[in-house]
Structure 1
Amino acid sequence: MRVTQSMLSNNFLKHLSNNYDKMGKIQEQMNTQKKITRPSDDPVVAMKGVAYRTNLTEVQQFKRNFTEAHNWLDNTDAALDQAKKALERIRQLTVQASNGTLEENQRASIAEEVKQLKSQIADIANTQVGDKYIFNGTDTLNPPTSVDANGNIVVKTPSNNNPVKLELANGVYIQVNSVNSDTNGIFNQELFDSMDKLITNLEADDQDALKQDLNNLDTHINNLVNERATVGARSNRIELMEDRIDQQEISVTKMMSKNEDADMEKVITDLITQEAVQRASLGVGARIIQPTLLDFLR
C-alpha cells in the first residue's frame, strides 16, 4: 500500500489530537484533584464512589440522630433530678410536720409549700425539648398533665404511649424518653393523688396518715432514682455507639478518598511525561510533513 502525504498528515493530526486529549484529562485531574470527573472515565471507581457516599450520608444522619438523642436524654435527666429534689423537699417537710409539735399556722405553711412543690412537679412533667413533650410517649405534641376546673392536676392518657426511639445504627433503635402515664410511670396520677392526700393530712394534722405518706414519698423517690439510673445507662450506651460511628465516618471517608482522590505526585509525573511526548510528536511531525512552496521561498 502506498503511503501518501495526506495519510501522514491525517495520522499526525489524529495522534496530536489524542495527545491533547490525554493532557486535558490530566489537567482536569490537577484542577479537581479527583481521579475521574465523569462516570465514563472509570465506571468501577464511579460505582464504588456512589456506594461510599451513600454509606457516608447514612453515617452522618446517625451522627445527627446522636445529637437529638443526647438532647432528649440530657433534658430527661435534668428534669428527673429537679423532680427528685422537689420530692425530697416534700419529704423533709412531711417529717417536720409529723413530729406533732407544730402549731396550726406552721402546718398550714407547710401544706402551702407542698402545694407549690406539687405544681412544680407538674411543670417538670410537662418538660419540652423544642416543641415536643418528652414525658408523654410518642404523643409529643400534647402535655402529659393539666389542671382541671377544681385545681387538681390530671395526668392525661396519651393517644400513643409507646416510647420515643431513634435509630442510632443500622436496625438499632434506642429509647430516648421516659414514659410516665402508665401505672408504673414516674409522673403518673398516683403521684399527684398521693400529694393531694398529704396536703389533706397536713391540714388535718393526721399523724398516722403522715407516716403512710412518708412511705408513699419514699416509693416515688425510689422510682425517680431508678429511672435516672436507666437514663444514665442509655446515655452510656449511646456514647459508646457514638464513638463507633465516629470511627466509621473516618474509615468511610478514608476509603472514599483512596477511591476518588487523585495521586498528585503521579498526576504531575504523567503531565511531564505527556508534555515530553507532545513535544516529540510535534518534532516528528515537522520532519515527516513535506516542505511547502513557502519553505523554499524563505
Structure 2
Amino acid sequence: MRVTQSMLTNNMLRNLSNSYERLGKYQDQLNTQKKITKPSDDPVVAIKGMRYRTDLKEIEQYQRNLSEAYTWMESADDAMDKMTQALHRVRELTVQASTGTNGPDEKANIAVEIEQLKEHIATIANTKVGNKFIFNGTNTTEAPVDLATSNISMSNSDVLLEVSKGIHMNVNVKAKDLLQGSNTNDIFTELDHLINDLNSDGDVGKYLDTIDSHVSNVVANRADLGARYNRIELIDERLGSQEVIATKIISENEDAEMEKVIINLTTAEAVHRAALGVGAKIMQPTLMDFLR
C-alpha cells in the first residue's frame, strides 16, 4: 500500500487529538478529584455511584426521622416526669388532709391546691412539640384533654416513624394509657371526687391507693417509653456506622487517586511533547513553503 504525505499528516493529527483528550481527562480528574465527570466516562462507576448515593440518602432520611423521634420521646419523658411530681404532691396533700388534724377550712384550702394541680396535669397532658400535641396519637391538631367538657381522648393510634429500612418505631404515649391505664377512672375524675370530698369534709384516705395506682401507671408508661428510647439510640448508633461505610464506599468508587493521576498526567504530557516533536518532522516542507 502506498503511503502518502497526507496519510501521515492525518494520522499525526488524529493521534495528537487523542493525546489532547487524554490530557483533558487527567486534568479534569486533577481538578475535580473524581474518576469521572459524566456517566459516559465510565458507566459502571456511574451506576454504582447512583446506587451508593441512594443508600446514603436513605440513611440521612432515617437520621432525620430519628431526630423527630428524639424530640417526641424526650418531650414525652419530661412531661411524664412533671406529671409524676404533680401526683406525688397530690398524695402528700391527701395524706395531710386524712390525718384528722385539719378542719373544714384547711381541707378547703388543700382542695384549692389540688384543683390547681389537676389543671397543671391537664396542661402537661396537652404538651405540644412545635404545633403538634404529642399525647393524642396521630390526631396531633386537637388537645387530648378538655377539662371544660371532662373529655379525654380515646385515640388508640400510634405515631410510627420509619427509623431504618423496614423498621417503624412508635414514638408516642396515648392519653388514655397515661391518664387512666387499667384504673376504673381517669386521673381527673378521681381528683374531682377527691376535691368534692375535701370540700364536704369527707373521708379522703380512701384515695391514697387510687393515687398510688395512677402514679405507678405513669411510671410504667415512662418505663415503656424509655425502653423504646434505648432502642432508638441503638438504631441511631448503627445508622452512624452505616453512614461512615456508605461514604467510604462512595469515595472508593468515585474519588481519583491523586498520586496516580499526577503520574498519568506527567506521562501524558511527556508523550504529547514527543508526539509534537515527531509531528514536526513528519510535516515535511512543501513547494508552498519555498514560494513564501
1:82-97 to 2 correspondence within 5 Å? 82-97=82-97
Equivalence for 1:286: 280
Deviations 1:87-113 (A, max 9, x none): 000000000000111022111110000
Deviations 1:162-184 (A, max 9, x none): 11111111111111110122xxx
Equivalence for 1:121: 121
Equivalence for 2:215: 221
Which TM-score applies when normalising by structure 1? Answer: 0.93
Deviations 1:130-175 (A, max 9, x none): 1111101111111001133xxx6321334xx311111111111111
Give the distance between the partners of 1:12 and 1:99, measured in 2 at CA: 110
The answer to whether residue 187 in structure 2 is matched with residue 191 in structure 1 is yes
Give the distance between the partners of 1:56 and 1:135, measured in 2 at CA: 33
The answer to whether residue 264 in structure 2 is matched with residue 264 in structure 1 is no
The answer to whether residue 151 in structure 2 is matched with residue 154 in structure 1 is yes
1:42-81 to 2 correspondence within 5 Å? 42-81=42-81
The letter of the residue matching 2:153 is K
Give secondary structure in 2 for the equivalent of 1:139: coil
Give the distance between the partners of 2:163 and 2:105, measured in 1 at CA: 55
Give secondary structure in 2 for the equivalent of 1:186: helix
Cα deviation for residue 203 of structure 1 reads 1.4
Contact 1:19-1:278 at 8 Å conserved across structures: yes
Deviations 1:3-62 (A, max 9, x none): 000111111001001100111111111111110011111111001000000000000001
Equivalence for 2:240: 246
Larger deviation: 98-107 or 82-91? 98-107
Cα deviation for residue 122 of structure 1 reads 0.5
Equivalence for 1:173: 168
Give the distance between the partners of 1:89 and 1:110, measured in 2 at CA: 11
Cα deviation for residue 297 of structure 1 reads 8.0
Equivalence for 1:230: 224
The letter of the residue matching 2:38 is R
Count of residue correspondences: 288
Q: Which runs of 5+ in 1 are unaligned?
A: none
Contact 2:73-2:172 at 8 Å conserved across structures: yes
Contact 2:29-2:35 at 8 Å conserved across structures: yes
Larger deviation: 198-207 or 126-135? 198-207
Cα deviation for residue 295 of structure 1 reads 6.0
Cα deviation for residue 294 of structure 1 reads 7.1
Equivalence for 1:273: 267
Give the distance between the partners of 1:13 and 1:156, measured in 2 at CA: 82
Cα deviation for residue 205 of structure 1 reads 2.2
Which TM-score applies when normalising by structure 2? Answer: 0.95
The letter of the residue matching 2:152 is V
Q: Which runs of 5+ in 2 are unaligned?
A: none
Cα deviation for residue 292 of structure 1 reads 3.4
Give the distance between the partners of 2:80 and 2:7, measured in 1 at CA: 89
Deviations 1:211-260 (A, max 9, x none): 22111100000001111111111111111110100000000000000000
The letter of the residue matching 1:179 is K
The letter of the residue matching 1:290 is Q
Give the distance between the partners of 1:143 and 1:187, measured in 2 at CA: 14
RMSD: 1.4
The letter of the residue matching 1:216 is T
> Could you tell me the percent identity over the aligned residues?
52
Equivalence for 1:135: 135
Give the distance between the partners of 1:293 and 1:212, measured in 2 at CA: 124
Give the distance between the partners of 2:154 and 2:229, measured in 1 at CA: 27
Equivalence for 2:9: 9
